[in-house]
């Protein structure tokens, strides 16, 4: 776990009982060797490609490095999360678009290695696709780099597998590609702590501008917020 997770948002100990490996989180059993590759919007107020949280109309909660989770504080990519649990996909890689000399360029920025899941409260809820399970995911390891690797530059390294072909929110990559991406990111200096500190910095800027974060919050995300969104009893 990054050494300064929640460094800018100290959390009360009351949040500890709902974080993995504690129940009700369930260990993810590794299965298929393929991986997921997800696109996220990054924030223009930071040179580090953190998720976009300064967009007043559509601030993003994922990837939530503060808690090392995905889907805990958002409903993004519900189908992908269900597939990760059903098929035992251990790794989710992340990419985002950054400004290049000739326009936006998609870059590989990091990965989650999943250790646990929780069947979320949207499962079977009226007004949702009840045939599709809802899962919250928690990682036991994360690693993010900066400024990232342009996907268009990785084709040779990936033995001809082109990740720069347009996809909207996520795609799946084969085992050989996942292994190469993991190797590349593990050899690159870890900037996860910088992502966390930049997230806190931009959150402060947004709070000063809007007097609120993520539309209505007064602080960033911590495990102290998890019980309510997980549909658990809150004392």
pLDDT score recorded for residue 5: 41
pLDDT score recorded for residue 164: 94
pLDDT score recorded for residue 8: 41
Q: CA separation (Å) from 42 to 89, 96, 107?
A: 24, 6, 11
Question: pLDDT digits over 133-160, tens only?
Answer: 789 999 999 999 999 999 999 999 999 9
Report the 10 Å Cβ neighbour count for 195. Answer: 25
pLDDT score recorded for residue 231: 87
pLDDT score recorded for residue 6: 41
Question: pLDDT digits over 209-223, tens only?
Answer: 999 999 889 899 999
Q: Closest Cα partner for 32 from 104, 84, 71?
A: 84
Q: Closest Cα partner for 206 from 4, 43, 63?
A: 43
Decide if 219 contacts 211 (C-beta within 8 A). no
Average of pLDDT values for 196-217?
A: 95
Question: pLDDT digits over 25-48, tens only?
Answer: 999 999 999 999 999 999 999 999
Ramachandran region, residue 6 (left: φ > 0; alpha: ψ -120 to 50; beta: rest) = left
| pLDDT surpassing 50 at residue 9 | no
The percentage of residues in the chain with a pLDDT greater than 90, rounded to a whole number, is 78
The counts of H helices and E strands in the chain are 4, 7
Instruction: Give 105's pLDDT tier (boundaries 50, 70, 90).
Output: very high
Question: pLDDT digits over 61-88, tens only?
Answer: 999 999 999 999 998 899 999 999 999 9
Q: Closest Cα partner for 107 from 24, 181, 5, 200?
A: 181
pLDDT score recorded for residue 10: 46
pLDDT score recorded for residue 16: 80
pLDDT score recorded for residue 4: 38
Per residue in 109-142, is it b (16+ CB within 10 Å) or e — as a string?
Answer: bbbbbbbbbbbbebbeeeeeeeeebbbbbbbbeb
First and final CA of the chain: distance in angstroms?
A: 27
Q: CA separation (Å) from 54 to 39, 47, 50, 75?
A: 17, 14, 11, 19
The rounded Cα 233 to chain-centroid distance in angstroms is: 25
Phi, psi of 7 (to 5 degrees): -60, -35
């Amino acid at each position: 776990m990054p050494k300064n997770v929640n460094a800018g948002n100290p959390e009360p100990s009351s949040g500890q009982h709902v974080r993995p490996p504690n129940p009700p989180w369930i260990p993810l059993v590794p299965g298929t060797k393929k991986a997921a590759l997800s696109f996220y919007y990054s924030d223009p107020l930071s040179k580090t490609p953190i998720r976009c949280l300064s967009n007043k109309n559509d601030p993003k909660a994922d990837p939530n490095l503060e808690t090392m989770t995905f889907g805990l504080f958002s409903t993004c990519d519900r189908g992908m999360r269900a597939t990760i649990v059903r098929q035992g996909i251990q790794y989710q890689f992340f990419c985002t678009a950054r400004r290049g000399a000739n326009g936006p360029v998609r870059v590989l920025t990091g990965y989650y290695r999943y250790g646990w899941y929780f069947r979320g409260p949207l499962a079977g809820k009226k007004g949702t696709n009840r045939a599709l399970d809802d899962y919250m995911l928690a990682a036991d390891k994360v690693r993010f780099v900066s400024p990232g690797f342009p996907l268009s530059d990785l084709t040779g390294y990936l033995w001809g597998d082109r990740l720069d072909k347009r996809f909207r929110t996520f795609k799946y990559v084969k085992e050989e590609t996942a292994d190469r991406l993991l190797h590349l990111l593990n050899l690159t200096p870890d900037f996860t702590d910088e992502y966390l500190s930049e997230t806190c910095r931009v959150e402060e800027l947004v709070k000063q501008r809007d007097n609120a974060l993520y539309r209505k919050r007064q602080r960033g995300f911590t495990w102290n917020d998890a019980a309510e969104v997980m549909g658990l009893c809150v004392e």
